[in-house]
């Protein structure tokens, strides 16, 4: 028994004993197990299935006039729908894209030039920019203006001034008819 133990105690390389190996491997396994068991607690805080299920919104666009803006809720967030005027479309298309902080062509941000659909949440810290109501301050680029920290968006909802790092994102949506979209 003693001979057997001694013959197995030495590991081939280095001076580590069998006990060192067992302590290390058991400790590592325990640490990994503890780390894995944390995951259910963290993941339980992610959106639940019923929250995820409420993820599409259908909108009928017929009542929106040219130049009018509409706010709809999608996943609890406001989505701005803007039926842009020809001037606004032209202003959005004529911008030198390379001069933008988050360079994107207007044509990459719309499915039909007349309809701009963006998530109306400022990409800085999540406030709702002004510009949806007729009397609102739209900022110096005719798009949207965030009152919280002063970000200014153009008529393609691209960031032009202020602290926001990126353009207002375009949500996934499809035209289900000529004048109806499904967001999400």
Partner 1 sequence: MAVSQPGVPAGSSSTPASLPGSGHGRLVRWIDHRLPVISFLEHELTAYPTPVNLNYWWNFGSLAGIILVIMIVTGVVLAMHYTPHASLAFDSVERIMRDVNYGWLLRYVHMNGASMFFLIVYIHMFRGLYYGSYKYPRELLWILGVVILLLMMATAFLGYVLPWGQMSYWAATVITNMFSAVPLVGDSIVTLLWGGFTVGNPTLNRFYSLHYVLPFVIVAVVGLHLVALHQHGSNNPLGIERRGPQDSIPFHPYYTIKDMFGLSVFLIVFAVFVFYLPNFLGHPDNYIPANPMVTPPHIVPEWYFLPFYAILRSVPDKLLGVVLMFGAVLILFLVPWLDTSPVRSARFRPVYRWVSWLLPADAIVLGWVGANPPSGAFVVIGQIATFYYFFHFLILMPLLGKIERPRPLPISIGAAVLAAGPPVPAAAPMERR
Q: Phi first, then psi: what are they for 124, rounded to 5°? A: -80, -80
Q: How far is the CB of 72 from partner 1 (least distance, A)?
A: 9
Interface with partner 1 by CB under 8 A: which residues?
Answer: 42, 45-48, 51, 55, 71, 73, 75-78, 121, 124-128, 130, 146-150, 162-165
User: Which listed residue (18, 90, 112, 149) is catalytic?
Assistant: 149
CB of 58 or CB of 137, closer to partner 1: 137
Task: Report CA torsion sign: 58, 62, 66, 67.
Answer: negative
Measure the CA–CA gap between 29 and 45, rounded to whole angstroms. 26
* Other Cβ atoms closer than 10 A to 139: 21
Distance of CA 16 to the CA centre of its chain: 50
Measure the CA–CA gap between 110 and 180, rounded to whole angstroms. 14
CB of 106 or CB of 124, closer to partner 1: 124
Q: How far is the CB of 108 from partner 1 (least distance, A)?
A: 20
CB of 78 or CB of 113, closer to partner 1: 78
Q: How far is the CB of 92 from partner 1 (least distance, A)?
A: 24
Q: How far is the CB of 159 from partner 1 (least distance, A)?
A: 11
13 is catalytic: no
**Region for residue 142 given its phi and psi (left: phi exceeds 0; alpha: psi -120 to 50; beta: otherwise):** left
What are the catalytic residues?
Answer: 149
């Amino acid at each position: 028994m003693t001979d057997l133990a001694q013959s197995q105690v030495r590991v081939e390389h280095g001076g580590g004993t069998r006990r060192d190996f067992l302590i290390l491997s058991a400790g590592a396994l325990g640490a990994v197990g503890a780390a894995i068991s944390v995951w259910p607690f963290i993941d339980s805080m992610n959106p639940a299935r019923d929250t995820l299920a409420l993820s599409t919104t259908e909108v009928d666009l017929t009542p929106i006039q040219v130049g009018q803006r509409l706010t709809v809720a999608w996943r609890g967030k406001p989505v701005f729908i803007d039926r842009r005027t020809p001037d606004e479309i032209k202003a959005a298309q004529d911008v030198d894209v390379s001069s933008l902080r988050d360079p994107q062509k207007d044509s990459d941000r719309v499915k039909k030039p007349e309809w701009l659909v963006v998530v109306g949440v400022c990409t800085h810290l999540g406030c709702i920019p002004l510009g949806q109501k007729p009397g609102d301050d739209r900022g110096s680029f005719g798009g949207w203006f965030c009152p919280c920290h002063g970000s200014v968006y153009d008529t393609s909802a691209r960031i032009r001034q202020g602290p926001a790092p990126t353009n207002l994102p375009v949500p996934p949506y499809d035209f289900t008819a000529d004048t109806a979209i499904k967001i999400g």
